[in-house]
Amino acid sequence: EVQLVESGGGLVQPGGSLRLSCVASRFTFSSYAMSWVRQAPGKGLECVSMISGTGRSTHYADSVKGRFTISRDNSKNTLYLQMDTLRAEDTARYYCVKQLTMIVVAPGDAFDIWGQGTMVSVSP
């Protein structure tokens, strides 16, 4: 069974940084695009970033552009999200998600397999 395990969440002050990791198993990691989807407490879902299977293409939501950086290490089956200049509104559970396709924002793509998420809290 495909497994995604996130880590790296925690409490950080506004303006601080945090790096999330997601270790994938039981599928060919490099063959699929991956995403980070977040959910603020009591709110809906928002895709903040996507990366292609090769890692060469990325996509960011306007809300995080210039502050967050997505990357992956296919040799370690690991996805990352570097979050800088954090704001209170970045407080959310962050889910690592396997996509259906290899390409970023591709026609026919969908969010496929979800991890359990890691909680990020930004507060003084």
Partner 1 sequence: QTVVTQEPSLSVSPGGTVTLTCGLSSGSVSTSNYPSWYQQTPGQAPRTLIYSSNTRSSGVPDRFSGSFLGNKAALTITGAQADDESDYYCVLYLTSGMIFGGGTKLTVL
Q: Least CB distance from residue 116 to partner 1, whole Å?
A: 5
Contact pattern from residue 67 through residue 86 relative to partner 1, giving x for each residue in contact according to CB under 8 A and a dash for the rest: --------------------
CA distance 23 to 7: 9
Q: Other C-beta atoms within 10 Å of 28: how many?
A: 10
Closest to partner 1 by CB, 80 vs 95, is 95
Tell me the DSSP string of 10-41: EEE-TT--EEEEEEEESS-GGGS-EEEEEE-T
Stretch that binds partner 1, among 21-29, 68-76, 84-92, 108-116 (CB under 8 A): 108-116
**Amino acid found at 65:** K
* Residue ranges that bind partner 1, judged by CB under 8 A: 37, 44-47, 50, 59, 61, 95, 100, 105, 107-117
